[in-house]
Structure 1
Amino acid sequence: MLAVLLSAWFMAQFDFFVVNVAAPSLEHDLHTGPAALELIVGGYAFAYASGMITGGRLGDLFGHRRTFVAGLAAFAVTSLLCGIAVSPGQLVGARLLQGFAGAVMVPQVLATITATFPAHARGRAMAWYGVAGGSASVAGQVLGGLLLDADVLGLGWRILFLVNVPIGVAAAVLAMRFLPAVRPARRARLDLLGASGVALALGLVLVPLAMGRTAGWPVWTWLCLAAAVPVGAATVYWQRTLTARGGDPVVDLTLFREGSYLAGVVAQAAFMAYWASLMFTLTLLLQGGFGLGPFEAGLAFAPTGVCFAGSSLLSRPLVQRYGLRILQLGSVVTVTGLAALTLVLALRPDHGALPWVILTMAVAGVGNGLTFPQLIGASLVRVPARRAGTGAGVLTTAQQFGGAAGVAVIGAAFFALAGPSPDTADHARAAMWTTLVSVALTCVVTVLTIVLRRAADRAARAEKAAGG
């Protein structure tokens, strides 16, 4: 059951990162320009993030298994459309649809774990969730580069999408066999107006951030960013109004009354903003600055992935023994690794820095593995089972919004710092400053883990008192 759920999470994360290594092939084969490339990468992230809350709500309304299978089938079909696209416009459209399909299936993963797994097994499931997510982000670089170099069946970049089709079909069949069919307690109406408001507000932020740099930051990008504020405020007002009327808003604002959940949402956004942008900027450093090929650059991330996966599996028994102090320890280890990476790039802005980049990233990977799975579990622990889909949808929306915004903003800063014709030293200097931003974001996560730990301690004391 867990393997079926995590296969969907792996595919969605893999497709978020894998397009980075395919960008040169897309430019050559489809003659995509910078704007189209931004839409191919950013369009998926936008659709994924903007549809996540609605996807979680669909699971609450129609059942997590049914919604999960529908999302898997849609992801397989849209991956096929990506693989057979013959023009940049077709690929952009298919990527948008693929992102929406991912937004339907992924919230059901956390929701099913939260609603159906017994308490003693949930922590281990979350650890494997962290393994799958961390491995997918690295596999997007490693396996993506390997598949491109192998040129399977002469398909080139198309294999990166087509590989999802048999996996998605097999996972959908297995989901019908192994996932429990839990019927919703009641059938509520879908809040289409609220869902549209959430998607529009996120789009008004993500689209200009994704396209602003290549477009030269024209007036429309600033107007969109400014318009996101009133649209977001109006959406929140509508959600409150609908709640007061006894309706079913797409965003359950009462979830944010729980301090641990709010802290978890912000921490997830900060974590993914740092992680996604760091993977992006270091890929640029390894390929553009150090001259590595896609597969070689991917292999440089392999130790990070191994350390991430290993510490994720160790995090659960460590939490059982030491509590959520492991969250803070993981964040401190990550900060240490990133601070060392910043120092390396400052002192060795040349090819000699490569072994130290690999080592310091592996240290950060250990910290990530200790933090990420337990951060998710601590955020959702006080979410009622009947609202698990909505809670998971908001949480994963925060993750994807943070990742997309981090790549757009920090990526733009990297290009600005590197200059128009950067050499190795320029790439290293740009990576140094953007890694320093990642250190700051990780410090934010560290502070929020303190809030989560205190909330968990209070809940444990209350439960113990109630039992006594």
Structure 2
Amino acid sequence: MTSKDTVATEPAQDAPADTPADRRRWIALAVLMTACFMDLVDATIVNIALPSLQRDLDTSFSTLQWVTAGYALAFAVGLITGGRLGDIYGRRKIFLLGIGGFTVASLLCGIAADPAMLVGSRLLQGAMAALMVPQVLSIIHVTFPAHERGKVFGMFGAVVGLGAVCGPLLGALLTQWDLAGLGWRPIFLINLPVGIAGLVLGRRFIEESRAPQALRLDLVGMALVSAGLLALLLPLTTGREHDWPLWGFVLMASSAPILAAFLAYERAKSRRDGSPLVELSLFRVRSFAAGIGVQIAFSTTLGVFFLIWTLYMQFGLGWSALHAGLTGVPFSIACSAAAGMSVGKLVPLLGARRTLQTGALTMAAGAVVYLLVAERYGMGIASWQMALPLVLMGAGMGMVFSALTDAVLSEVPQQHAGSASGLINTTNQMGFALGLAFTSVAYFSVVDERLPAEGSRAFVTAFGHAMWWVAAVLGVVFALMYALPKRAAQHAEAGVADAPEPGAEALLPEPAPEPVRV
């Protein structure tokens, strides 16, 4: 049996440097990092091309919402199940399935002939990312010994930061260049050579691994939570376009009993076989329950902001994709810098809660400054006049995301750390999808009302209206943070931190914040 066919079920042991196995695992790491970079760039690259996409396909604003929200929702719903599939059937196998499916979905997005095909392809892309991404950290866990993982996670964080900066710029350049007259389509087609290379190299250099005692799949739980979320998000996203029909309110009302049925089923499944999709006992931990509330509220805010921001600059101010992409650079730089400073300096000095609250207040201050600047300069605003509020908002976001995971997990029992981490990543994506859906109420309803009389100025007016929502929700986030511990507790004793619960490796928290969707 070759090394690539070996099935590992335990964390990697120390290995001599510069051996063939050592070189293989660093190549495997490069493949994993490249796949993550592809996913992160794809998540950030789309918004900047939305105006070009809307003109080319002559589609509605609700469809544009689904192009972004569909990806986030499919990603969120599939994350935990994707991790379990890797534990059961092999992480390399599921990773290769995910990257292959992601590549095919990217091709389908790039050749989409109509809005329905594009939205369907984006849903598929998000589902494939949910298979691919959870395997990355679990493969690293079984491939690298403990003393090397700090360096590896540092590299991982650098890739996340690079993706946050490169995504908007790459999307702007590809859209602006209009390669071969393809317009926005290269933002998806660029994934094809990267995905094919990842398949070939991943098959050769990534070793197979499984959890020694993998949990069972919870297909009924997945179906119930998917139905409940869809019943809530579908009317919010499309209701405005159909003049808020009765069926939309019925669907939204039905989401509550569906999600209640999901909770009841999860309790029963936990008693029956101990393998629910969601470990409900975690919500008895006050800091975890509050942290999940913070995560959802904060991600909802980001979902609103990043969609309305690009529409404001391109539809409202008439800027090109490249102009809008370059305007966002101060945000990305400030976010990356603050994330590193937060964990390394602010948390030890101020404690987790004060650091998080400082981040929330900084971002809220940036939103208010942005409102004042946008109101003062109106349609004549320049990129440099946006720099200060964008730096404040980026710095606030970096402080929150970098410190939030430790604060939320600080009082969680060690045996449930994997499940808790998976829920944090999942609720991050769900909150983002919810924010994208809420733009119908916070932004597009104002555009619809004012567009006939004001023209492009309606997008500027709507931006100001929606930014008050952003500032208000950040105030709620600040208040929720009082339920978090002042300082993150050390919930893993020496020698225990390196041994997570069986099947939990795929759900370990990401070492850096999810990149901004600019």
Would the alpha carbon gap of residues 379 and 428 (structure 1) be closer, same or farther in structure 2, given more than 3 Å must change? same
Tell me: CA distance 1:194–1:77, structure 2 relative to 1, closer, same or farther (3 Å): same
1:183-236 alpha-carbon deviations (Å, 9 max, x no partner): 212243311111111111111112222212222222221111111111000011
1:276 aligned onto 2:306: no
Aligned partner of 2:473 in structure 1 is: 441
| 8 Å contact kept, 1:57–1:393 | no
User: 1:196 pairs with 223, 245, 256, which one?
Assistant: 223
Question: Residue 269 of structure 1 contacts residue 399 of structure 1 at CA under 8 Å; is this kept in 2?
Answer: yes
Q: Which amino acid aligns with 2:77?
A: S
The residue number in structure 2 matching 1:430 is 462
* Residue 26, structure 1, aligned to residue 53, structure 2: yes
User: Hey, what does 1:365 align to over in structure 2?
Assistant: 394
CA pair 387-145 structure 1, distance change in 2 beyond 3 A: same
Q: What pairs up with 1:223-242 in 2 under 5 angstroms?
A: 223-242=250-269
Counterparts in 2 of 1:444-459, with a 5 A limit?
Answer: 444-454=476-486, 456-457=488-489, 459=490
The range that moved more, 174-183 or 187-196, is 174-183
| Amino acid in the other structure paired with 2:188 | F
1:58 to 76, 85, 96: 85
- Distance, in Å, in 1 between the alignment partners of 2:221 and 2:295 is 23
Return the letter of the residue paired with 1:237: A
Aligned partners of 2:409 and 2:132: how far apart in 1?
A: 18
CA distance in structure 1 between the partners assigned to 2:92 and 2:478 by the alignment: 35
Partner SS state of residue 184, structure 2:
helix
Q: Quick check: 2:79–2:131 contact (8 Å CA) kept in 1?
A: yes
Describe the SS at the equivalent of 1:186. coil
Following superposition of structure 1 onto structure 2, how do residues 114-263 of structure 1 map, counting pairs within 5 Å? 136=163, 139-172=166-199, 181-263=208-290
Deviates more, 1:194-203 or 1:343-352: 343-352
Q: CA deviation at 1:45?
A: 2.8
Q: Distance in 2 between matches of 1:315 and 1:124?
A: 18
- Whether the aligned pair in 1 keeps the contact of 2:364 and 2:475 (CA below 8 Å) is yes
Alignment of 1:303-382 (within 5 A): 303-319=330-346, 321-322=348-349, 323-324=351-352, 325-352=354-381, 354-380=383-409
**Conservation of the 8 A alpha-carbon contact between 2:338 and 2:395:** yes
Is the Cα contact below 8 Å between 1:308 and 1:368 reproduced in 2? yes
Q: Write the distance in 1 (CA, Å) between the matches of 2:88 and 2:417.
A: 11
CA drift of 1:350 comes to 3.3
Q: What pairs with 1:10-25 in structure 2 (closer than 5 Å)?
A: 10-25=37-52
What secondary structure sits across from 2:378 in the alignment?
A: coil
Q: What is the DSSP-based 3-state SS (H/G/I as helix, E as strand, rest coil) of the residue aligned with 1:454?
A: coil
Structure 2 counterpart SS, 1:188 = coil
Q: CA RMSD in A?
A: 3.3
Query: What residue in structure 1 maps to residue 501 of structure 2?
Result: none
Q: Please say if residues 108 and 389 of structure 1, whose CA atoms lie closer than 8 Å, have aligned partners that are also in contact.
A: no
Alpha-carbon contact 2:57-2:114 (below 8 Å) kept: yes
Contact 1:127 1:374 in 2 (8 A): no
Q: Distance in 1 between matches of 2:440 and 2:145?
A: 41
State how far apart, in whole Å, the 2-side matches of 1:6 and 1:445 are. Answer: 32
Letter in 2 for 1:438: V
Mapped contact 1:130–1:373 kept (Cα < 8 A): no
User: Whole-Å Cα distance in 1 between the matches of residues 248 and 168 of structure 2?
Assistant: 30
Unaligned 5+ runs, structure 2: 1-25, 497-518
Given the alignment, which residue of 26, 48, 72 partners 1:45?
72
Deviation of 1:153 (Å) = 4.0
Distance 1:135 1:443 in 2: 30
| d(CA) in 1 for partners of 2:158, 2:470 | 21
Deviation at 1:19, TM superposition (A): 3.0
1:335 Cα deviation (Å)? 2.2
Match of 2:128 in 1: 101
Write out per-residue CA displacement over residues 291-314 of structure 1, whole angstroms, 9 at most, x where no aligned residue. Answer: 211111111111111111222233
Q: Quick one: which amino acid aligns to residue 461 of structure 2? A: R
Aligned partners of 2:465, 2:150: CA distance in 1, in Å?
Answer: 36
Give the direction of change, closer, same or farther, for the CA distance of 1:160–1:343 in structure 2 (3 Å limit). same
Alpha-carbon deviation of 1:390?
3.9
Letter in 1 for 2:108: L
Q: Per-residue deviation at 1:406? A: 0.9
Give distance in 1, aligned partners of 2:300 and 2:234. 16
C-alpha distance in 2, partners of 1:30/1:339? 35
CA contact (8 A) 2:109 2:118 kept: yes
Q: In the alignment, residue 202 of structure 1 is paired with which amino acid?
A: L
Q: Closer, same or farther in 2 for the Cα pair 1:92/1:335, shift >3 Å?
A: closer
SS at match of 1:217: coil
Q: Which residue of 1 aligns with 2:443?
A: 414
Between the aligned partners of 1:452 and 1:111, the Cα distance in structure 2 is 28
Name the amino acid aligned to 1:142: L
2:99 corresponds to:
72
Contact kept in structure 1, 2:65 and 2:436, CA below 8 Å: no
Q: Secondary structure at the residue paired with 2:370?
A: helix
Change in CA separation of 1:191 and 1:293 when aligned onto 2, cut-off 3 Å: same
Closer, same or farther in 2 for the Cα pair 1:347/1:217, shift >3 Å? same
Which residue matches 2:325? 298
SS of residue matched to 1:316: helix
**Percent of aligned pairs sharing the same letter:** 38
Residue type of the alignment partner of 2:451:
P
Q: Tell whether the 8 Å contact from 2:300 to 2:432 is kept in structure 1 after alignment.
A: yes
State the secondary structure of the residue aligned to 1:207: helix
- Aligned equivalents of 2:57 and 2:150: distance in 1? 45
For the Cα contact (< 8 Å) 2:288–2:411, is it kept in 1? yes
List per-residue Cα deviations over 1:366-385 (Å, max 9, x = no partner): 12122212213433456677
Q: Kindly state the Cα deviation for residue 430 of structure 1 after the two structures are TM-superposed.
A: 2.4
Equivalent residue letter for 2:468: L
Amino acid at match of 1:442: L
Which is richer in helix? 1
Contact in 2 for aligned 1:415/1:430 (Cα 8 Å): yes
Q: List alignment gaps of at least 5 residues for structure 1.
A: none
CA distance, structure 2, for counterparts of residue 317 and residue 25 of structure 1: 41
**Does 2:469 correspond to 1:405?**
no
Contact 1:206 1:405 in 2 (8 A): yes
**1:35-59, CA deviations, whole angstroms, 9 ceiling, x for partnerless residues?**
5444433332332222223223323
